[in-house]
Amino acid sequence: MKIIDETVVQKKLGNGLELFIIPKTGFYKVAINFTVQFGSINNHLKIENKERSFPNGIAHFLEHQMFEKKNRNLHQEFSEKGAFVNAYTNFLYTSYTLSTTSKIEEILPLFLDFVQEPSFTEETITRERKVIEQEIRMKKSDIEWIAYFSILNSMYQNHPVKNEIGGTFSSINEINMKMLYECHNVFYHPNNSKLCIVGDVDSERLIGQLKSNQELRKFEKPKEIQNLLNEDTRDVNTVYKEIFLPVQVKKFFVGYKLSKSIFQSDQSIKKEMIINVLLQMMFGKSSKIRKKLYESGKIDDSFVFNTTIDNKFGFIIISGNSYVPDEVTTIIHSSFCELQNSFIDSNELNRAIKVEIGKIIRSLDSPQYIANQYLRYKFRGGDLLVLPQILKSITVDDITSILFTCFKDQAKCVLIVKNDNSS
């Protein structure tokens, strides 16, 4: 029995663009997500069997540059049509989003122009480089950002996931117009893209409109792309590290580097759900461990845990503020070891599963969440709307298997952030 009863209209156009339309009767807002497989780790590749390298940060730079059109103000044009556009780049993808309460048919052509028609000049590239340089400066004072990439550098020695998404001052100064046009031509090809529309829409009319729109656009033949990632060993790069930043309370980060058996498995999405359930069991708000740490004053409300898994990497980060961070990190890791040698309570498992299902179902009230996450799982060969069914299928044996696979000593690293006494 389906837990989420949604209709998804799917169509692959002649140029390779995959469309997913999810009608939501009664929703006043329509959301769009257009995602291309081009992220911060995709800078060393083979394109048509020719090895090619691009500077770090080029995917993010291209995302910024797409907002620049000659003699046009895109933000103003969208605003006048009652639409809000945004974009973001992560490790593997660049996504362009739109939210509107207006008629989507009137906005869709402009949105596709925005994403599929680059218009770069030396002037706009120079201007945007200065904007990105300012972003990089701001990140250098963002304590959570610094700590996040510091723990990734503790996990990974070679893998580009350890590199900051926006690049560095030197790398973005290597980016030029020729590179940007080449990357758009290769990575923004419809065959390397997916489009999701969620809201109270006429799916058949939209498919007709999109088909006609795409048939009028000229694209080269899609190129064969092969990522050439620097592989990492199972072991972490640095087991323990301290950094000094202007913090009022010390921070701890415990990282677990996941193996290929997790993120390159044909069951990687189920394994992601199992990890989420296990973390919810152990460190969710009603868990015994969290309550004990909180009531003893060792952690506060900043305590969080996150799993990041995609086709090329996977890791877990557990973090928070603490006056005794080393003690907390020891308790966290020893909790996994203790559970490996004890009985897993099926009642606790079922409670954690219900919490995770509830989080997903509540999020489905947001059309933008649906559009964003639906494509994320589609690129991984999965389906957002079947996640609750996957969660319901998780067993004690699944938890036990993940427990012994993911939380080994050689896969763990610890980062402690202490006050540098400069504030």
Scan for tokens 């080269």, then name that residue.
Answer: 220
- Could you tell me which residues are beta bridge partners of residue 319? 253, 304
Q: What is the largest CA-CA distance in the chain?
A: 67
Return phi, psi of residue 31, to 5°.
Answer: -120, 145
The interaxial angle of helices 104-116 and 203-215, nearest 10 deg, is 40
Give the single-character DSSP code of 249: S
Which residue out of 18, 63, 77, 224 is catalytically annotated? 63
How far is it, in rounded angstroms, from Cα 391 to Cα 357? 7
Residue 63 designated active-site: yes
Which tokens go with 134?
Answer: 């300012």
> At 339, is the secondary structure helix, strand, or coil?
helix
Q: How far apart are CA 121 and CA 129, in angstroms?
A: 12
Three-class DSSP category at 46: strand
Q: In this structure, what token pair is assigned to residue 109?
A: 């052509």
Q: Which two tokens stand for residue 338?
A: 């203790």
Instruction: Report residue 397 as tokens.
Output: 């044996």
Give catalytic residue positions: 63
